[in-house]
Chains A and B, each alone.
Chain A
Amino acid sequence: MGNDLLNMIELRDFNLPTTKNEDWKYTNVAPIMKNNYVLGASLGYENHLSTVLHDFFFQDFDYYKVVFINGIFAGELSDLTGLESGIIVDSLSNFQKNNSELLSRHLNKYSTIDNGFNEINNSLSSNGLVVFVPKGKVVDKPIQVLYLNGDKTENVLSVPKNLIIAEENAQVSIIANYHGIEGKEYLTNIVTEVYAGKNSIVDLYKIQSEEENSYHIEKVQAYQEANSLFNHYNFTFGGSITRNDINTCLNDENIESHFYGLYLAHKKQHVDNHTYVDHAKPNCMSNELYKGILDGESRGVFNGKIMVRRDAQKTNAYQSNKAVLLSKSAVIDTKPQLEIFADDVKCSHGAAVGQLDENSEFYIKSRGIPQDIAKSMLIRAFAADVIEKIKIDELREQINHLVFEHLNRVEVKNN
């Protein structure tokens, strides 16, 4: 296909945020805007049918397999055999055909358009993942979704719009696994909506290992009903500029939310995580733990906001953000925010920035362990707080491996 046939997207047509915008103060999106992009949907995925996708997946455990290439659902490459009837895992466009009433009840009901990137997704997206778990059903295996983005010759823009619906008493675990194809710079711009019904449990893992010349932007917006539990696990390895917005609205009583994040950056990578926990009703609990390891000339940004509204008495909300700088030129900007309008609450946030502890390092070395391994042990210990929260044992070890691979350091395994 020649360029003339492709629909070139000019990002300038959208009102993208600048650093003058408080929410984008530390993230300059100008590099993203220098390219014109080809919409992923216009490329098709046929030439990837022969690509060996096996290596991209996390292995050694059972999972339902879903593949998206440049934002298009690749049915031939997916494997959903054994899925209990009633549970739907499909592309947004198929779901629309078969369940339009259900879709219209949830789609775009939770996420608002906050900035130009959301607008791009909203106006250009035609596809994405839908997971629908009806009342009382439990998905027996995690659903692992591979999003493969990029192209050898074109600057691709992928705009998946995902929707996860867990009805009353439902339970589901999803692993969103982002990878890239070596080639031209590309932009992945995602919006994910999560609806957690009464008593439901939703685990959403995100492991982002995109190419290092790529731009990755995602907004997750969750909406939780009474007694629900939403866990979000966020691991960032790849991307030149990464921006995650993870928001949840606790709109009934006895809700629990956990946000865990680990971001690693080296060279000139830029990782920006924004979280927003909105406590609207009483007796809820939220907990956030974000950790960053920054090497090279990388820059990390963390902005966590907890809102406790007037009604939300007896709220417990905790947030902790820690970062270690491994090199002289790494930069971290963090802003933990509390906005509290109710008086009977327990809220705290903590932020700490430092380096690997010299005394601990000395102690390990004095036991005859070489420096590089001592350092790795400390990194491992630092990252472990987040990694050990992963509920799938096999995934835990593979992510630990990615940490050392990404930082190019000697790996230290558990025990």
Chain B
Amino acid sequence: MEEIKTNGLQEKDEISEDMQLLNDVTKNEYKWGFITDIESDTAPKGLNEEIVRFISLKKGEPEWMTEWRLKAFRHWQTMEEPKWPNVKYPKIDFQDIIYYSAPKKKPQLDSLDEVDPELLKTFEKLGIPLEEQKILSGVAVDAVFDSVSVATTFKETLKEKGVIFSSVSEALKDHPELVKKYLGSVVPYTDNYYAALNAAVFSDGSFVYIPKGVRCPMELSTYFRINNEETGQFERTLIIAEEGSYVSYLEGCTAPIRDTNQLHAAVVELVILENAEIKYSTVQNWYPGNSEGKGGIYNFVTKRAACRGNHSKVSWTQVETGSAVTWKYPSCILQGDYSVGEFYSVAVTNNYQQADTGTKMIHLGKNTSSTIISKGISAGKSNNSYRGLVKVGKKADNARNFTQCDSMLMGDKCGAHTFPYIEIENDTAKVEHEATTSKVGEDQIFYLNQRGISTEDAVNMIVNGFCKEVFNELPMEFAVEAQKLLAISLESSVG
């Protein structure tokens, strides 16, 4: 009895030490929080047909686009919010949201000098010096600042190749036939509650068109940023890769500190034709709320790729560290024969964050294959869920899937969950699913300590090792940023 008691006490001490370390994490302030003051042109709060028309009018859209938005809005009114995700949040009052706000000055720019200096400062604080990127990295940046594109660089270079990289509203003016053909073809407005809402009120987003046989000469990148308080951000991205083309697209987000929850319901549509490939990488670092779980972004995103042609390929890579609530399932519809879908994900939750994320691999064509690597790390009082679907249709002969989802828990107040759905209708399918849950091993930390590495660095190393398979898939610039983000998100947390 005596012995057991002492053991118990010791354990308690260890736990309180851990708690101390965990507390240090929660004190970690959100490093990207600041507010830019720009007079914006804002719609009144609330949502009705008038507002939908207002948005459409503001953007100078053609009649069919307005009609499409209205149809989506009417459909949205008949739908109910999904209740199945493993997340909890107060009910959203959709009438208490401003659906349109745009920076007032919107000059057509060719060089950075013409950009509002305050905007430029914001980007610098974010660590995205446009001029530097322009010169050094060769990355074209379409900076979406609170719903409207302000500056687009490298347009000229892309133009030579025939690549279209612009905001959706510009594309509607310049290439209406392309937008009309593909918008809503992968994610129809009837798809789900938030997709319908997005279709009705989306403010802007990126449009990419890679013509036949073109390998996009640079990595395309858009930085999103929520700026105006109480603005819901509804982005819509549409990327079309024509036969034999290739593009790598980067998306990264940061947002300022806010007390009221902000809704973010984006839609991303990818269309991949024969022999084409799209690589889509995301680093998501929206404001996750403070250590009491107050504030933070609701991130309800519909992302889907349609591999329409034979030998087409799509690869989703995501590093999710932000948002109070994340609800996101980048999916691959593998229609073409020999098409390939990949999903690499690291999702980190801390404090009161909740993430319900995963992917859907829908095998329809013959000889299709898919890979899912998902790494979930939960700390603090957060909940991290993997929810995925692997479906092999009746005609999808020789489909192949490999799924691995690993979870890591730090502290004893967090949760890690897996909900994998596997639906197989073809006997030639080979599907494997593996999942493990573990914590940072004491022996691993001990080993590194013994070599003079501090516990904090040791944890960072172990976590980085845990996520390596995913980081390897990220483009260089992003991989660096992702590692930094991970270190910040989990600073001094020891399991």
Contact = CB atoms under 8 A, between A and B. Distances in A.
Interface SS, B side: strand
Given A325-B427, A328-B427, A335-B420, A340 B437 contact: yes
A336 B420 CA distance: 6
Interface residues of A, number: 36
B394 to A, nearest CB: 8
Chain A contact residues: helix, strand, loop or mixed: strand
Interface string A309-337: 01001000000000101111111111111
B429 A351 contact: no
Nearest to B418: A338
Nearest to A355: B427
Interface in B424-455: 424-439
Contacts of B411: 343
Question: Which interface residue of A338, A339, A342, A352 has the most chain B CB atoms within 10 A?
Answer: A338
B438 A346 contact: yes
A377 to B, nearest CB: 19
Given A336-B418, A340-B415, A349 B435 contact: yes
A334 B390 CA distance: 10
B480 interface: no
Given A337-B418, A349-B418, A353-B422, A343 B412 contact: yes
Nearest to A339: B417
B4 to A, nearest CB: 12
B416 A327 contact: no
A354 interface: yes
Nearest to A303: B421
B409 interface: yes
A329 B427 CA distance: 7
B132 interface: no
A184 B420 CA distance: 38
A138 interface: no
Given A326-B427, A355-B427, A334 B436 contact: no
Size class of B's contact patch? 35 or more
A64 to B, nearest CB: 41
Contacts of A330: 427
Given A335-B420, A340-B417, A353 B437 contact: no
A341 B413 CA distance: 7
B418 A350 contact: no
Given A345-B437, A350-B434, A338 B84 contact: no
A340 B418 CA distance: 9
A305 B431 CA distance: 19
A18 interface: no
Given A335-B420, A343-B409, A353 B431 contact: yes
Contacts of B437: 338, 340, 345-348
Contacts of B438: 345-346
Interface string B375-417: 0000000000000000000100000000000010111111111
A114 interface: no
B24 interface: no
Given A348-B435, A348-B436, A335 B419 contact: yes
Given A331-B424, A333-B422, A333-B423, A342 B412 contact: yes
A22 B409 contact: no
Given A338-B418, A347-B437, A352 B409 contact: no
Given A337-B417, A339-B415, A350 B423 contact: no
A351 B416 CA distance: 19
Contacts of A350: 432-435
Given A310-B412, A342-B412, A343-B495, A336 B433 contact: yes
B90 to A, nearest CB: 23
Contacts of B407: 338, 340
- In the A-B complex, the 4 residue pairs with the smallest Cβ-Cβ separation, listed nearest first, are A325-B427, A343-B409, A351-B433, A347-B437
Interface of A: 22, 26, 310, 313, 323, 325-355
